[in-house]
Amino acid sequence: QLQASGGGSVQAGGSLRLSCTASGLTLSSYVVGWFRRAPGKERQFVADIGWSGELSYADSVKGRFIISKDAYEDTVDLQMNALSPADTAVYYCAVSYGRGGDSPSSYKYWGPGTQVTVSS
């Protein structure tokens, strides 16, 4: 099971740090991705990190978001800076047994999501 935490409400320009934890599997052994779903929109890729540390970001978050893994704690974190109302969404972490990437269908396990709300 996956669990995303760290969501909340913040004003535009603020920061939040999300964390993905897992039970029953070791996150550091897989590609872990972050996705988000805004109200009325499709699930959108945010970022992923490979088992060897390779990173990928959506253009909309490049330069603002940082994905990282903590091998000791076995978490995958998403540091979100310079947040704007357009970042408001439910954020999900997911595990891929393959190469990950920006397609939700590439991911096998999903957490229940954490709400991020950015006010102007």
Per-residue pLDDT of the chain (120 residues; tens, 9 = 90+): 899 999 999 999 999 999 999 999 999 889 999 999 999 999 999 999 998 889 999 999 999 999 999 989 999 999 999 999 999 999 999 999 988 999 999 999 999 999 999 999
Q: What are phi and psi of 74, to 5 degrees?
A: 55, 55
- Predicted confidence at residue 47, as pLDDT, reads 98
Spatial distance between the Cα atoms of 85 and 2, rounded to a whole number of angstroms: 26
- Determine contact, residues 59/66, Cβ cutoff 8 Å: no
- Predicted confidence at residue 30, as pLDDT, reads 93
- Predicted confidence at residue 9, as pLDDT, reads 98
The residues, any chain, with a CB within 8 Å of residue 21's CB and separated by 6 or more, are 2, 3, 5, 27, 74, 75
